[in-house]
Structure 1
Amino acid sequence: MQRKVKALAITTAAVAAMFVGPAAQAHEKYIHHGDDKAAVTADHKTVSVRDGECDNHFVWVEWTAGNGTTGSLTDANGCAGIGNQWSVPSGVAQFRLCEEAVSCTAWTYA
């Protein structure tokens, strides 16, 4: 009986190891809307937005933080390539990028 239990435990551990991948690595997350871009840093504490199109449509990023609060940040500089960033101490949970008179991307998890 002990041999069967031990063999079962070893088999279970081997099968479980096949389904467990490496730990997820933190990484910066980007969203593009044409040449416009929004990003969240790897620690989820900073969000940024940049208008990359010379089309007279400003862009903004909207986010929901880990504590449920929401916010938005605009880049109205046209295609100056400067952009804006904002600190989100509670961490960005999801975000999307919008362009005036065009549309918004789908919500994306940070």
Structure 2
Amino acid sequence: MTALRRGVVLLAAAGALTLSTGTAEATVRLSHGQDWAEATSTAIRAFDGESDGNGVYADFYLTNGAHGSVWDGNGADGNPGPWASVGGRIAKFRVCEDHVGCSGWRTNPS
């Protein structure tokens, strides 16, 4: 095998190794009617899927006990609100709709 060919083979093998060791963080979705919230271990967002005038938000607790909420913010325009990094690990979350109620709590396995 020529030196050039060995170099190409080594680069290809290194590239395959790099690709195979990458990890994607799991996203967990929880629905309430047509509305939903998605969470990873450290980020969360909300989606308002109903044009009914009721705002939608994701409610969450971190593993350190801190509580927070993230609103969809753009109404039922067909797009979710932006991902919000929450500064800690999300222990559980739910999706809520103003004047209607909330889903049950979901423990975040991420």
Q: TM-score, normalised by structure 2?
A: 0.69
Q: Confirm or deny: 8 A CA contact 1:74 1:84 kept in the other structure.
A: no
Whichever residue aligns with residue 51 of structure 1, its letter is D
1:27 partner SS: coil
Q: Find runs of 4+ consecutive structure 1 residues off by over 6 angstroms.
A: none
Q: Deviations over 1:5-46 (max 9, x none)?
A: xxxxxxxxxxxxxxxxxxxxx6311101111110112xx011
Give the C-alpha shift of residue 61 in structure 1.
0.8
Whichever residue aligns with residue 90 of structure 2, its letter is V
Q: Deviations over 1:70-105 (max 9, x none)?
A: 100112422112323210231100001100111111
Q: Which runs of 5+ in 1 are unaligned?
A: 1-25
Q: Which runs of 5+ in 2 are unaligned?
A: 1-24
Which position in structure 1 is the counterpart of 2:33? 34
- Rg (Cα) greater in structure: 1
Quick one: distance in 1 between partners of 2:53 and 2:83?
20
Q: Do residues 51 (structure 1) and 48 (structure 2) align?
A: yes
Q: Confirm or deny: 8 A CA contact 2:45 2:71 kept in the other structure.
A: no
Which position in structure 2 is the counterpart of 1:70? 67
Which position in structure 2 is the counterpart of 1:18? none
Which position in structure 2 is the counterpart of 1:91? 89
Quick one: distance in 2 between partners of 1:92 and 1:74?
16
Quick one: distance in 1 between partners of 2:82 and 2:56?
11
Q: Do residues 61 (structure 1) and 90 (structure 2) align?
A: no
Quick one: distance in 1 between partners of 2:105 and 2:33?
16
Quick one: distance in 2 between partners of 1:88 and 1:74?
13
Q: TM-score, normalised by structure 1?
A: 0.69
C-alpha RMSD of the superposition: 1.4
